[in-house]
Structure 1
Amino acid sequence: MNFSQLQSFVALAETGSFTEAAYTINLTQSAVSHALSALESELGVTLLERNRKGVVSLSRVGEKILPHVRLLLAQAEAIEQEAKVARGEAAGKVRLGSIESMIPPRLLASMLTRFRVAYPDIEVVLFEGSMHEVGDWIEQGVIDVGFVLLPAPGIDGTLLTTDELCVLLPPGHHLQTRKTLMPEELREEGFVMEKTQCTLNLMRRAGFVLDKYKSQIRYQASDTATILAMVREGLGITLMPRKLLPSKLEGVVALSLNPPQDLRIGLAVKSQDAAPPGAKLFIQTALICAQAQAEATA
């Protein structure tokens, strides 16, 4: 068993394709296929099932083994980074998890730019998912560090910034003249929500009884601009973090909830003690960037 075999297994599990897996880890398809076959032969089990089209999927034992392999590779990467730090180098790879429906694109882009300038030899690999997925990825070792909504039980989080969950109404809505709205005042409204269920989790935190509101979700979309356009056309209302809104909000009214729903956004690792140096450096850079943006806004 060697790292090339383990890397091939993980790449195939994540991409489902020999072609994409080979590209991901910079090997030939034949090398990836040979590595997987050697690993399965050594372990005496089938890790991946293949169909006629070449698509692969995890077997039952493969599903059980995958988290262990990911953790082993992450620890190996951390060992290499620690050795480089001891030699005065900052190089390697950081796997970062982001939540598209919560993290403002301007903030993420600013952090990535600042980090690249400060540490050009550290590659950032970006994973995008829902709040639940990013949390699972941190716990399973799929990513080194990820954006989370604090508090995040079971993982070590660092507060970066705060936001506010607000209600968005179309122009002419009968509630648009209000300063704040209580969840119970929206029981008769139709909602336009994003697809990853992140907003449903935010609704739950805000005091919405989801059993009473799920039937009112008229449409779901994955893009913020699409959701805003649908609200603007009167197809429903939505809930969204205020910092995700464009600087010029046209044709949509944004109101605060009562009581106010503050969102504490942070970066988290599975353990501060075991986090690789690259992940710690990213958190430090993100803190500097978030503070600079807060000062500029103020």
Structure 2
Amino acid sequence: MKLSQLQCFVALAELGSFTEAAYAVGLTQSAVSHALAALENEVGVTLLERNRKGVAALTDAGQKIIPHVRELLAQAEAIEQEAKSARGLAKGKLRLGGILSFSPGLLAGVLARFQKKYPDIEVVLFEGTIQEINDWITCSIIDVGFVLHPAKDVESTYITTDELCVLVPSRHRLHAQTEVSPQELCEEGFIMAKDGCSSQLMELAGLELKQFKPLTRYHANDSATLLAMVREGLGITLLPRMMLPKKLEGVVALPLNPPQMLQIGLAVRSQEIASPAAVLFVQTVLAWMQEVGEIS
């Protein structure tokens, strides 16, 4: 069993295409196909099969095996990075999880700083919801990612604090208020993100009360869609201030009373086995935050 075979297997599972997988691992399609066949022959089961459209999909056996493969590859990458670090080199790959629509200024700023300081570390960015990033870390799909701190089942480092806001249409009955209490939102319909953090945000806003269960009318994938739906009067939503554009049109952001703050962190699966690149990225973000002082 070779690492190159495992890399081809994971690339095929993630991309679903022999063409794209070959490009990702730097091999020909024929080489990727032979690598998969050799791996399947060695383990004695079919790991991937093509559907009628030619898309490669995991078999039941492949779904059970791939978490172990991802973990093995992550550790192999960490071993290589540790060996290079011992020789005074900072080289390798960093798989980073960024929250969709989350503070472009923060992400761009820290990436620019990191790439300037460590030009030989390749950063591969994965964008998803907070819940997806948590899942990707635990499954070794990414090495480090932005999360709500503290995060469940992973180890997170606090980096900054953000404010939770209520977003209402500009013509809404609450639009002129300077702050909003949880009680004033009891009769409202909500539009929330499609991830496991929606209920957590509602709890932080004081809305998950035993005597009151908020009505969620719609779910959306990203903050831009949420804001567009709020603008059209389809409901209201809750978002961290960092996920808001600098200029809001047709929507008003109101602070909660009492104010509700969110802690933002960077998480790895385990501090003990985190790759050197992941450790360097966390250190870079902490240093950048100290210099900047606040997020733009």
Residue 74 (str. 1) matches residue 58 (str. 2): no
User: What does residue 188 of structure 2 align with?
Assistant: 189
Segment of structure 1 superposing worse, 222-231 or 112-121:
222-231
Q: What is the Cα deviation at residue 154 of structure 1? A: 2.8
Contact 1:199 1:240 in 2 (8 A): no
| In structure 2, distance between residues paired with 1:295 and 1:253 | 22
User: Which segment drifts farther, 200-209 or 284-293?
Assistant: 200-209
| 1:167-195 CA distance string (max 9 Å, x none) | 01222322223332223321322333334
Aligned length: 294
Deviation of 1:37 after TM superposition, in Å, equals: 0.5
Structure 2 unaligned residues grouped into runs of 5+: none
Instruction: Give, in angstroms, the shift of residue 201 of structure 1.
Output: 3.5
RMSD, aligned α-carbons: 2.1
Q: Percent identity?
A: 64
CA distance in 2, matches of 1:198, 1:153: 11
Q: Tell me, yes or no, if the aligned pair for 2:105 and 2:295 is still in contact at 8 Å.
A: no
Match of 1:294 in 2: 293
Structure-2 change in CA distance of 1:133 and 1:227 (3 Å): closer
Q: After the TM superposition, which segments of 4 or more aligned residues of structure 1 sit over 6 Å from their partners?
A: none
TM-score, normalised via structure 2 length: 0.92
Residue 51 of structure 2 is matched in structure 1 by: 51
5+ residue gaps, structure 1, are none
Correspondence for 1:258: 257
Paired position in structure 2 for 1:203: 202
Matched, 1:231 2:230: yes
TM, length-normalised to structure 1: 0.91
* Cα distance in 2 between the residues matched to 1:157 and 1:136: 14
Residue 272 of structure 2 corresponds to residue 273 of structure 1: yes
In structure 2, distance between residues paired with 1:226 and 1:69:
36
CA distance in 2, matches of 1:55, 1:151: 38
User: Structure 1 pair 131/175, CA: closer, same or farther in 2 (3 Å)?
Assistant: same
Determine the structure 2 residue equivalent to 1:88.
88
**SS state at 2:293 partner:** helix
Q: How does 1:110-259 map to 2 (within 5 A)?
A: 110-196=109-195, 198-209=197-208, 212-214=213-215, 216-217=216-217, 219-259=218-258
Q: CA deviation at 1:115?
A: 0.6
Q: What letter matches 2:167 in structure 1?
A: L
* Contact residue 110 and residue 285 of structure 2 kept, 8 A: yes
| Gap change, CA 1:195 and 1:82, over 3 Å in 2 | same
Q: Which has the higher mean CA deviation after the structures are superposed, 255-264 or 172-181?
A: 172-181
Bigger shift: residues 172-181 or 149-158: 172-181
**Deviations along 1:130-161, whole A, 9 cap, x unmatched?**
22221121112111111110111332211111
Contact 2:106 2:295 in 1 (8 A): no
1:13-49 per-position Cα deviation (integer Å, ceiling 9, x unaligned)? 1111111111111111111110000000011111112
- 1: CA distance, partners of 2:200 / 2:36: 39
SS at match of 2:214: helix
